[in-house]
DNA sequence: GCGACAG
DNA sequence: ATCTTGTCGC
């Protein structure tokens, strides 16, 4: 699959929406809000932007967690071969609140989409979905290395995957995107809101004193407040949350094993 | 036209 | 993201 998970409108132009919406009800559990389909080829940049706008409308910025407090938190990240032709995705699942690793899966794919700020999900999303599908566990939350709603269209990698998987998702990035950098207080736990227009899209968070801030934003099915809480709860010794560190390590390890560095 | 620009 | 070793500092 190419990873966008949306069906190419077999209808010409922009046509109409889907058929009937599923009946409203309390937080769907096993249901996926959108069918995760396989694509024959990656979307064009225009198609990607179109898909992103459709997904943006489905982002839920409220807490809709399967269990709270969450018991299983996953981290997802990717690594690339040195020649940049292959991408390795890894998802690590940690138990809470001890953060003990309970599951991890990796996947490899050829890189099929360019790095375009704002369209990151189309580059790393596919391989992360591949890894996710192999999990034996069902995480309550997934943290992605990238942005959620701190995004020009309000739909970064974390929102995109959160919607496709219908799983609460959080985006944690090292730098802002489309907004000026802001500086929280110097103490761990200090935060500064990041605005996009009139909305608070996310916030800069100091996870460790004396270390650069990280940018946290809701991806899907979670509030900004809860997202920040989860990030601080999983990132104390290091700047980045532990699930993300674990995923990164495994992605790099997968690359080494595959012997295509 | 120039700069900015998640990983 | 990746190319790259050691080094200064807590």
Confidence of residue A16 (pLDDT cuts 50, 70, 90): very low
Residue–nucleotide distance: A85 CA to C3 C1' (Å): 15
Q: Which of A55, A49, A21, A182 is nearest to A117 (CA)?
A: A49
Q: Which of A207, A222, A195, A180 is nearest to A73 (CA)?
A: A222
> What is the mean pLDDT of the segment spanning A6-29?
41
CATH number of A72-257: 3.30.2170.10
Q: Which of A36-50, A136-150, A193-207, A244-258 bottoms out in mean pLDDT, i.e. has the lowest?
A: A36-50
Q: What are the domain boundaries of chain A?
A: 72-257
Chain C: nucleotides below 7 Å from protein CB are 1-3
What local confidence, expressed as pLDDT, does residue A19 receive?
38
> Contact at 8 Å (CB) between A145 and A128?
no
Residue–nucleotide distance: A223 CA to C5 C1' (Å): 43
- Integer Cα distance of A73 and A129 in angstroms: 16
Task: State pLDDT tens for residues A184-236.
Answer: 998 999 999 999 988 999 999 999 998 999 999 999 999 999 999 999 999 98
Task: State pLDDT tens for residues A81-95.
Answer: 999 999 999 999 999
Other CB atoms closer than 10 Å to residue A149's CB: what's the count?
26
């Amino acid at each position: 699959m190419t990873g966008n998970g949306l069906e190419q409108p077999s209808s010409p132009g922009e046509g109409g929406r889907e058929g009937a919406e599923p009946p409203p009800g309390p937080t769907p559990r096993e249901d996926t809000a959108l069918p995760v389909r396989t694509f024959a080829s990656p979307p064009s940049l225009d198609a990607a932007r179109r898909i992103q706008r459709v997904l943006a409308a489905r982002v839920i910025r409220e807490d809709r967690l399967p269990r709270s407090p969450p018991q299983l938190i996953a981290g997802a990240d990717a690594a690339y071969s040195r020649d940049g032709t292959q991408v390795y995705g890894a998802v690590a699942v940690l138990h809470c609140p001890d953060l003990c690793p309970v599951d991890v899966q990796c996947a490899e794919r050829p890189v099929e989409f360019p790095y375009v700020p704002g369209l990151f999900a189309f580059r790393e999303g596919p391989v992360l979905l591949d890894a996710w599908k192999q999990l034996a566990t069902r995480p309550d939350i997934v943290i992605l290395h990238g942005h959620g709603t701190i995004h020009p269209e309000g739909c970064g990698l974390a929102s995109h995957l959160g919607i496709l998987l219908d799983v609460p998702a959080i985006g944690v990035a090292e730098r802002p995107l489309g907004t000026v950098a802001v500086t929280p207080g110097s103490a761990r736990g200090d935060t500064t809101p990041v605005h996009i227009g009139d909305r608070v899209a996310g916030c800069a968070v100091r996870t460790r004193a004396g270390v650069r801030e990280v940018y946290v934003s809701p991806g899907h099915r979670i509030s900004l407040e809860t997202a920040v809480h989860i990030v601080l709860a999983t990132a104390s010794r290091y700047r980045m949350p532990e699930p993300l560190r674990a995923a990164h390590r495994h992605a790099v390890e997968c690359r080494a094993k595959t012997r295509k560095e």
